[in-house]
């Protein structure tokens, strides 16, 4: 029997259980955490040797297992998990962004955190369990790390109620939620945020951060108590440090030269000057007899970081000369390409994005199967970041985690503004092509995508814009004071993005916040600081919306002539089989005869017809109406005789429907032969006298006699 120790704490009114046993005992540390019946195994492993890298090699893998939810998914031929889903990648990024700031960036050993979802109860969020599991495993291990941390999900309902760690059924009721946030942090700071909302008020969001942080403190205290009982002594790991003599030579050489290279408005010119400075530095070091030139980049990074911090903190000086709250020059344009359904170009300083909107039939929705759910997505936003956007040459492959993350953030910012399917029946896909990048291409994507949707005639509720905010903190002063010294930067770019202490992206309309994401390179920020950041972001957002409004003040009144025409009708669900026909015979015949693109039918009887033009769509709709028409007794009909039988005649009523006139209903009096009254091909008018299980009985006699 396995030896194990169990610990428990109450989180948001429910027990959270942490178990340490001999499972996964080859790892530096492993813990199993349970919340409800959602269970996560967290393992952490550190490599045995340093790697020759100029960065800290941390990997966080979030592993969904279909068995956790009692499902067998995958393709027809490969019934197992494949590449991580986008949702799994986003969950992994969320945890990575929380853990990473608390590692010493000078570590050069591999550290891998693997989070395996063993059980999912369809009620409790695996992200929360995974994050606390990862923190607990790291904190109780011998791996050097500055935790613990914790995180919770918090929502605010339209009723005003704020809920910590809501169950999945509450989360799925999106109509009732004003905003949802995942908040992570240390005992006294918040170090990671993910927010999605519907024009949420900044003050309400900040209040929810306070409530979330109170719960976070409790979970951190729990982890500390656990570590007292089972925690290991931290290993001594070599930190990457340059030779002090070489460092002094480099610092002396850079004195007076570095600022001239870094503080340049144009990014391309800045790159050239920095490259020239590095080459001069290399020649100087060679002349001084220094052989190990690999330290140049690390020391140059460190000195540039110090320079950017010093200039902002002491004199409000930014690399491109702007004021702290100044947004770079803006430009926007729509309708760039005639045949595209919608397009927009947005430029903020050196960042350029081209967004293209494509409209399609409802059948083009994306089916997303994950461990947690199976969903259809009718609005998609995809983000592409090619190497030429930063003037680089790189191999182009599949979509990377960064692209998935940036696209998801932009999609969250806009999704609450998308009209319902009843209001606008199209499936909508927006693709953002980042053409040039010098800071916050994801927020430029929000701006361009919003305008592209409007150009396509999508009646979005309001335009959406986004801005990236930065932070420069005096780390030495802050470490020795309860009152941190810091400066907030609006619209960060270049060196500010790279060397700054925070990247906080805020997107929304003129009336509130739709999405927010924050990452830090320091221990975290206070709620007070976040309030100032959001206030400055709102000011910039309104400025950007004014520029966008000049390019396109409202959605176009109709979709592009190159977009499909979509008509929606409702039919009796019991008639769906008649429209489809055996093996799809009827529906395929309608598509072939009318030239429509697609006909999609939902189980509730809603039919979507997508066609290249209105005439084609109308023809298909008429055919469907004829197929599903429920004839009433006494109704007048007309059509051609298509079959003569011994006991009557068959009339084509159109749309694949027919009715029969019994010989006794052809006319008053005795009729010996059907052909004595009607012949094949005759056009007749008749009255419906009965309907029985879809069979229609007609009478000419009743029409003549006025019955």
User: Quick one: which of 85, 74, 76, 68 has its CA closest to 34?
Assistant: 68
**Is 503 annotated as a binding-site member?**
yes
* Cα dihedral across residues 404, 407, 411, 413: positive or negative: positive
What is the reported pTM?
Answer: 0.89
> Which residues are within 8 A (CB) of 191 and not within 5 positions of it... i.e. 6 or more apart?
98, 101, 102, 149, 184, 185, 520, 522, 523, 524, 525
pLDDT value at 482 more than 60:
no
Among the four given CATH numbers 3.40.50.300, 3.40.190.10, 1.20.1250.20, 3.30.230.70, the one describing domain 4-230 = 3.30.230.70
How does residue 480 score in pLDDT terms, banded at 50, 70 and 90?
A: low
Mean pLDDT score across all residues of the chain:
92
How does residue 436 score in pLDDT terms, banded at 50, 70 and 90?
A: very high
The mean pLDDT of 348-353, rounded to a whole number, is 96
The mean pLDDT of 659-680, rounded to a whole number, is 88
Domain ranges of the chain: 4-230, 244-315, 330-550, 565-628, 636-705
Q: Would you say 39 and 119 are in contact if contact means Cβ atoms under 8 Å apart?
A: yes
pLDDT value at 588 more than 60:
yes
Q: Would you say 629 and 637 are in contact if contact means Cβ atoms under 8 Å apart?
A: no
How does residue 665 score in pLDDT terms, banded at 50, 70 and 90?
A: confident
Give how far Cα 499 sits from Cα of 77, 291, 305, 385, 485, Å: 48, 28, 5, 21, 17
Strand pairing report for 177-185 and 14-21: unpaired
More confident: 544 or 663: 544
pLDDT value at 33 more than 80:
yes
The mean pLDDT of 325-354, rounded to a whole number, is 97
Strand pairing report for 465-473 and 14-21: unpaired
pLDDT at res. 269: 86
In the CATH scheme, what is the homologous superfamily, with its name and number, of domain 565-628? K Homology domain, type 1 (3.30.1370.10)
The CATH class of the 636-705 domain is mainly beta
**Is 207 annotated as a binding-site member?**
no
pLDDT value at 481 more than 80:
no
How does residue 322 score in pLDDT terms, banded at 50, 70 and 90?
A: very high
Residue 638, Cβ neighbours under 10 Å: how many? 12
How does residue 336 score in pLDDT terms, banded at 50, 70 and 90?
A: very high
Phi, psi for 262 (deg, rounded to 5): -80, -40
pLDDT at res. 529: 96
Q: Would you say 362 and 428 are in contact if contact means Cβ atoms under 8 Å apart?
A: no
pLDDT at res. 158: 96
Q: Do domains 4-230 and 330-550 have the same CATH topology?
A: yes
Cα(563)–Cα(597) distance, integer angstroms: 11
Cα(457)–Cα(554) distance, integer angstroms: 9
Cα(111)–Cα(98) distance, integer angstroms: 15
pLDDT at res. 290: 81
pLDDT at res. 54: 85
pLDDT at res. 707: 54
State pLDDT tens for residues 115-167: 999 999 999 999 999 999 999 999 999 999 999 999 999 999 999 999 999 99
User: Quick one: which of 612, 566, 344, 339 has its CA closest to 455?
Assistant: 344
State pLDDT tens for residues 603-644: 999 999 999 999 999 999 988 888 888 888 888 988 999 999
Architecture in CATH of 330-550: 2-Layer Sandwich (3.30)
The mean pLDDT of 455-477, rounded to a whole number, is 93
pLDDT at res. 3: 85
How does residue 264 score in pLDDT terms, banded at 50, 70 and 90?
A: confident
């Amino acid at each position: 029997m396995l030896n194990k120790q169990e610990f428990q704490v109450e989180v948001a009114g429910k027990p959270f259980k942490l178990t340490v046993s001999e499972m996964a005992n080859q790892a530096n540390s492993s813990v199993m955490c349970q919340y409800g019946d959602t269970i996560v195994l967290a393992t952490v492993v550190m490599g045995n040797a340093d790697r020759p890298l100029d960065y800290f090699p941390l990997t966080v893998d979030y592993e969904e297992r279909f068995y956790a939810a009692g499902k067998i998914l995958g393709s027809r031929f490969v019934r197992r998990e494949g590449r991580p889903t986008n949702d799994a990648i986003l969950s992994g990024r969320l945890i990575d962004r929380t853990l990473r700031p608390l590692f010493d960036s000078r570590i050069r050993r591999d550290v891998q955190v693997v989070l395996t979802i063993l059980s999912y109860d369809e009620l409790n969020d695996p992200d929360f369990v995974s994050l606390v599991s990862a923190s607990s495993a790291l904190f109780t291990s011998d791996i050097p790390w500055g935790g613990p941390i914790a995180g919770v999900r918090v929502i605010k309902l339209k009723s005003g109620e704020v809920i910590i760690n809501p169950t999945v059924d509450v989360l799925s009721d999106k109509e009732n939620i004003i905003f949802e946030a995942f908040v992570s942090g240390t005992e006294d700071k918040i170090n990671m945020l993910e927010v999605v909302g519907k024009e949420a008020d900044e003050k309400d969001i900040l209040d929810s951060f306070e409530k979330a942080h109170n719960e976070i403190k409790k979970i951190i205290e729990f982890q500390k108590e656990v570590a007292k009982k089972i925690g290991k002594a931290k290993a001594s790991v070599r930190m990457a440090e340059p030779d002090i003599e070489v460092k002094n030579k480099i610092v002396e050489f850079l004195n007076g030269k570095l600022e001239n290279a870094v503080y340049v408005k144009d990014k391309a010119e800045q790159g050239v000057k920095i490259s020239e400075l590095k080459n001069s530095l290399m020649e100087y070091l060679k002349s001084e007899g220094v052989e190990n030139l690999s330290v140049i980049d690390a020391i140059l990074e460190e000195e540039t970081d110090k320079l950017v911090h010093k200039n902002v903190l002491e004199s409000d000086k930014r690399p491109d000369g702007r004021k702290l709250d100044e947004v770079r020059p803006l430009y926007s344009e729509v309708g760039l390409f005639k045949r595209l359904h919608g397009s927009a170009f947005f430029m903020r300083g050196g960042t350029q994005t081209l967004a293209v909107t494509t409209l399609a039939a409802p059948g083009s929705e994306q089916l997303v199967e994950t461990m947690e759910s199976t969903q259809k997505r009718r609005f998609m936003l995809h983000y592409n970041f090619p190497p030429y956007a930063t003037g680089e040459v790189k191999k182009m492959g599949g979509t990377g985690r960064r692209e998935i993350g940036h696209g998801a953030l932009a999609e969250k910012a806009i999704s609450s503004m998308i009209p319902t399917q009843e209001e606008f029946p199209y499936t909508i896909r927006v693709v953002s092509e980042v053409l040039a990048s010098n800071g916050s291409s994801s927020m430029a994507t929000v701006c361009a995508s919003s305008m592209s949707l409007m150009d396509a005639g999508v009646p979005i509720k309001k335009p959406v814009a986004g801005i990236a905010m930065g932070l420069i903190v005096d780390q030495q002063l802050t470490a020795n004071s309860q009152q941190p010294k810091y400066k907030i930067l609006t619209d960060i770019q270049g060196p500010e993005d790279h060397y700054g202490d925070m990247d906080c992206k805020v997107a929304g309309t003129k009336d509130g916040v739709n999405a927010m994401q924050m990452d830090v390179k320091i221990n975290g920020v206070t709620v007070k600081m976040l309030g100032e950041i959001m206030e400055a972001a709102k000011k910039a957002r309104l400025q950007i919306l004014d520029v966008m409004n000049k390019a396109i003040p409202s959605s176009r009144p109709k979709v592009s002539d190159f977009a499909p025409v979509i008509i929606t009708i409702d039919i009796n669900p019991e008639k769906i089989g008649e429209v489809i026909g055996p093996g799809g015979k009827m529906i395929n015949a309608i598509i072939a005869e009318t030239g429509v693109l697609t006909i999609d039918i939902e189980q509730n009887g809603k039919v979507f017809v997508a066609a290249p033009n209105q005439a084609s769509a109308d023809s298909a709709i008429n055919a469907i109406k004829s197929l599903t028409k429920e004839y009433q007794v006494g109704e007048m009909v007309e059509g051609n005789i298509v079959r003569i039988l011994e006991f009557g005649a068959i009339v084509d009523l159109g749309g694949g429907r027919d009715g029969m006139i019994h010989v006794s209903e052809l006319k008053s009096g005795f009729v010996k032969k059907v052909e004595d009254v009607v012949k094949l091909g005759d056009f007749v008018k008749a009255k419906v006298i009965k309907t029985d299980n879809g069979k229609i009985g007609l009478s000419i006699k009743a029409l003549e006699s006025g019955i």
